[in-house]
Amino acid sequence: MQKLFKLITVALLTLSASIVSAEIKPAVIFDMGGKFDKSFNESVFNGAQRFTKETGIKAMEVEVTNEAQREQGMRKMAQRGANVIVCVGFAQADACDKVAKEFPNTKFSIIDVGWLDNANMRQYVFNEHEGSFLVGALAAMASKTGKVGFVGGMDIPLIRKFACGYVQGAKAVNSKVEVYQNMTGTTPAAWNDPAKGSELAKSQFDRGADVVYAAAGGTGTGVYQAAADAGKLAIGVDSNQNYLHPGTMLTSMLKRVDLATYETFMDVKSGNFTSGVKVLGLKEDGVGWAYDKHNKSLITDVMKSTINGLSDKVKSGAIKVHDYMSDNNCPA
């Protein structure tokens, strides 16, 4: 009898585990550039992969190649039974908002959006200006010419936010530093144009810049290659891109969209999902800078201690980095 009871217990536990696994069917809608863009989308992918490794539950995926596919992909995932969908990027805001209203029992999470109003949606906003402030300071300290550059992807306020933080950081350690800025374009194609990124980086190098920060998605790979070819330094974005060109990549501005993705899925799985806006900055470990074996030789002890000191001051509020998106203006 006792043996039978144990067998029944094991069977029930196994059934329970399978039911729990079936309760969450996650999905990700990657945006332009694809999940292997070595930047923004790939960081989201890494967060989903972490969830899969820990739970054994694989997320369904849609890779968007044109604007119409955003809404189509979300609706398709919801219809296929996905009960939590991560919408990747501000460009998906309208589609995510519309489909979330159509499927009120499905949970949605969107990155880089904080203005929507849905009871079934979590929104993640990052303080990119704070992380960019730190890498701007690093760029100015590493520069031998006193001239640094910035290459943005699509010319939108969000990318101006990166640029403004970068300029503020550079000037915090060298008030006389010159910062050159270029945007790749005004359409979503600007996120995946390495040739244009290379061209813009070369033009900044020709003007004397010896460190260039790219906040441009897949376009950034062209910037990094141009820096490697010219013997200059580059700064990556979103994910840790230091490994791409060791000795060339000064650092990377980390934007933890991987954490947002992983956290969303885990919260739904554990029943702790909440809607509303979550803001992730330096204090929340939502942004930062990358230091590892690939860039260790480029970062001196003085640079490291200076950046850590600036980071502490931003976290405490002693230094307030201006957010371009608060007034569409950069005072630096």
- 218 or 295: which leads in pLDDT: 295
Q: What is the mean pLDDT of the chain?
A: 93
User: Could you tell me which residues come within 8 angstroms of residue 330 by beta carbon, excluding any fewer than 6 positions away?
Assistant: 160, 163, 164, 167, 168, 322, 324
Start and end residues for every CATH 3.40.50.2300 domain found in the chain: 2-127+258-280, 128-255+288-326
The H or E element spanning position 21 is helix 2-23
Share of the chain above pLDDT 90, in %: 86
Contact 173, 126 (CB under 8 A): no
What's the whole-model pTM score? 0.86
Q: What pLDDT, on the 0 to 100 scale, is given for residue 40?
A: 87
- 188 pLDDT tier (thresholds 50, 70, 90): confident
Alpha carbon 323 to its chain centroid, in Å, reads 17
* Residue with the larger pLDDT of the pair 32 and 74: 74
pLDDT of residue 17: 40
Query: Got the DSSP string for 56-121?
Result: -PPPEEEE-SSTHHHHHHHHHHHHTT-SEEEE-SGGGHHHHHHHHHH-TTSEEEEES------TTE
Q: Which residue has the tokens 């949605």?
A: 108
CA distance 190 to 136: 22
Over residues 204-223, the mean pLDDT reads 96
pLDDT value of residue 39: 83
pLDDT at site 30: 96
**Segment 262-281, tens digit of pLDDT:** 999 999 999 999 999 999 99
Taking the CA atoms of 279, 283, 289 and 294 in sequence, report the sign of the dihedral they define. negative
Contact 230, 207 (CB under 8 A): no
DSSP alpha helix (H) spans, 25-64? 40-55
Read off φ and ψ for residue 322, nearest 5 degrees.
Answer: -65, 135
From 3.40.50.9100, 3.40.50.300, 2.30.30.40, 3.40.50.2300, which CATH number describes the 2-127+258-280 domain? 3.40.50.2300
User: Residue 23 — pLDDT band, cuts 50, 70, 90?
Assistant: confident
pLDDT-derived band at 37, boundaries 50, 70, 90: confident
Q: What percent of the chain has pLDDT over 70?
A: 93
Q: Cα–Cα distance between 261 and 265 in angstroms, integer?
A: 6
Over residues 123-149, the mean pLDDT reads 98
Q: Which helix (H) or strand (E) holds 316?
A: helix 301-316
Q: Report residue 332's pLDDT band, with 50, 70 and 90 as the boundaries.
A: confident
Average pLDDT over every residue of 17-23: 48
Comparison of pLDDT for 93 and 14, the residue scoring more: 93
- Calculate the CA 254 to chain-centre distance: 7
7 vs 244, higher pLDDT? 244
Just give the CATH number of 128-255+288-326.
3.40.50.2300
